[in-house]
Structure 1
């Protein structure tokens, strides 16, 4: 059997869950033996730094290069020349901004705005911002359509792509996201660069400040907890410096920012928290609920299908459009003498471990690449 040449492209991933997935995948690939293909990697600076933090052996790859692309500028970044000579190029999360590619292009899809175009975030925007945002995602949709195959993480994402005529059903594969094996290897956890001074009941948010993450609800919840229930809690977020600077004075005076976390710092952040909050309006999939359950932390989460599909009865749900509903949920939990239900948290962790298999995810990606390469050469 011919030994194909595959390239894993993570040059465009710089923040958030995409970096975590890429690091987990590349780390798993680096620890595999008897590869069916020669695998090369192009990693962004951020992916590379996090691979080093988990001791991934990138010398195992046929080639490994650190190279950065940013949005549409990838079209003139020189990336296209780096993708020559491969049978399959797998962009962990797209879109892949290229006009043409001789290799089979497989792209990971995780853009909920494209499959849920009628959402409450759009409705809250000004006309100009709504128009600008729609144009942005129309451009992204155009480049996603140029892929030969898309990989999504859950059934609802595939259904959304098909129902909105973005991509054909027979060209979409589902590979479930999962907990990074890092969370099961405490020896790789590193202390937070910015320490946490914890004096109150503390609730953590892990993620970027995208509009659909709904972070502006956090200071509203805090004030309702104080004024209505007499409960003073601290909310900790993990925003980049530019995200933090862009937040309102109201937000910055009521919320504590520890800064962007490296992948290996995330478990330490969860350890410091008494609970985790996930107020998102819109997701394809997010690892945060899985991580919170794996760390045996109470999870206050949006009452949305994309959370319930993953968490079942192990999360505490609130209406993400209603800060009072969220505050009532948290107050009930804090005032409940049985809040430390160790058995339930242990069961949640067991659910996550059974749900998650990073090695199988990597193997599934490889099978899809192998199948695509064979189909292409047999035509």
Structure 2
């Protein structure tokens, strides 16, 4: 089968990691011919396409617009479909703002449509609310008029997509940690955290509003007041200029953007994975922390509980006092840490690993 893998619309975020992992595994499916369209932000696997004549890489930066949302046309991509006799298109994450002339399978990762009860909607500004009121209907329209089959990373999201788009053409394939975590030889150990005799809480995330990183400033205040002798620090991978208020906190170490190969060593140097997010379909931070044997502290919201089960400490993501108390409790309770790590091993087995994930994608593409 001739398959086009579309990652031309991916510019930032976790979708880039997923694209890297998927593209990196295509060499195991020689029964198909692949045309892989990537933006200039997608990190390609170490192997060369010259080694695998059934894989062709094409660079193209697809930009969404209001006009594209309504028309769904793209002459460059249409010509690729025609030239290579493409039979199926798989867009890793939409919206693609493109309606292929063949069956189109598309990843869905917009929790904004699924979790209307999230506290996220209470903390954003009125300008952001107005923007969402304008943008979300356009994105929904783009999905409805360009996609034949949806793929989500969370069963809870799958049920939501079925309701929103009134379709049963929805599959669930979970995300996983990047394969670099399984090979210490590939780890980049260039970021060495300063020596510290307290507790290190690691958050690997960009500074999006739904990540709720602003709560860290208040958590620091609560910890210092309630537990003055407790030594702690938060380590963030946000851009240093993106959040000046956080930079002023002496208990926060801001690293700037890091590469995926640098992440395993950061986990190794940390004690707890901390994620106060308010809105997700999936977060790779969960399986990453499980793989590295680090206790998870995260928001008490449906998507997190569905992904972590008993393998996490949950908190009200807007309650700094509760978060501070639970950080202190976990830090002081070695038995609790050990129990969480045991549960993490069980929970990790519930995910589709990198091989299973790609096999499931191929089964979906082949079965349609």
- CA shift, 1:320, in A, is 0.8
Secondary structure, counterpart of 2:171 in structure 1? strand
Paired residue for 1:376? none
SS at match of 1:169: coil
TM-score, reference length from structure 1: 0.86
Asked whether the equivalents of residues 95 and 139 of structure 2 are also in contact (C-alpha less than 8 Å), the reply is yes
1:112-127 alignment, distance < 5 Å: 112-127=111-126
Instruction: Determine which of 274, 278, 296 is the counterpart of 2:275.
Output: 278
Shift of 1:84: 2.5
Aligned to 1:226: 224
Report the TM-score, using the length of structure 2 for normalisation: 0.88
1:237: how far off?
A: 1.0
Do 1:181 and 1:358's aligned partners in 2 also have CA atoms closer than 8 Å? yes
Matched, 1:363 2:356: no
Unaligned runs of 5+ in 2: none
Residue 169 of structure 1 is matched in structure 2 by: 167
SS in 2 for 1:355: coil
Matching residue of 2:178: 180
The answer as to 2:3 corresponding to 1:6 is yes
Partners in 1 of 2:309 and 2:327 — Cα distance?
A: 18
What pairs with 1:1-379 in structure 2 (closer than 5 Å)? 4-30=1-27, 32-35=28-31, 37-48=32-43, 51-52=44-45, 55-59=46-50, 60=52, 61-72=54-65, 75=68, 79-81=76-78, 83-85=80-82, 86-98=86-98, 100-146=99-145, 147-164=147-164, 167-192=165-190, 194-199=191-196, 200-230=198-228, 231-239=230-238, 241=239, 244-247=240-243, 249-254=244-249, 255-336=252-333, 338=335, 341=338, 344-345=340-341, 348-349=344-345, 351-353=347-349, 355-372=351-368
**Alpha-carbon distance in structure 2 between the residues aligned to 1:126 and 1:347:** 38
Q: 1:57 to 1:357 in 2, by over 3 A?
A: farther
Work out the CA distance in 2 between the residues paired with 1:77 and 1:266: 36
Aligned residues: 354
Deviation of 1:362 (Å): 0.5
Question: Residue 225 of structure 1 contacts residue 232 of structure 1 at CA under 8 Å; is this kept in 2?
Answer: no
User: Structure 1 residues 337 and 207 mapped into 2: Cα distance closer, same or farther (>3 Å)?
Assistant: closer
Assess if the C-alpha contact under 8 Å between 2:173 and 2:352 holds in 1.
no
Q: Distance in 2 between matches of 1:251 and 1:70?
A: 32
User: Deviation digits for residues 189-227 of structure 1, max 9, x if unmatched?
Assistant: 2224x5422424211101222211111111111121112
Partner Cα separation in structure 1 for residue 117 and residue 333 of structure 2: 38
The runs of 5 or more residues in structure 1 that have no matched partner are 373-379
Whether the 8 Å CA contact 1:236–1:256 is kept in 2: the answer is yes
Give, in whole Å, the separation in 2 of the partners of 1:41 and 1:339. 45
- Secondary structure in 1 matching 2:241: helix
Q: Between Structure 1 and Structure 2, which shows a larger proportion of helix residues?
A: 1
Distance in 1 separating the partners of 2:63 and 2:116: 24
Q: Secondary structure at the match of 1:245?
A: coil
Q: Distance in 1 between matches of 2:139 and 2:80?
A: 20
Rounded to whole Å, the distance in 2 between the matches of 1:209 and 1:79 is 33
Structure 1 position 307, deviation (Å)? 1.6
CA contact (8 A) 1:179 1:352 kept: no
1:2-59 Cα deviation digits (max 9, x unpaired) = xx210111122232211111111111222x1442x211211223322xx34xx34444
Q: 1: distance between equivalents of 2:10 and 2:264? A: 21
Q: Is the 8 A contact 1:196 1:258 kept in 2?
A: no
* Maintained 8 Å contact 1:15/1:208: no
| 1:179 Cα deviation after fit | 2.8
CA distance in 2, matches of 1:190, 1:371: 39
Three-state SS of the structure 2 residue aligned to 1:191 is coil
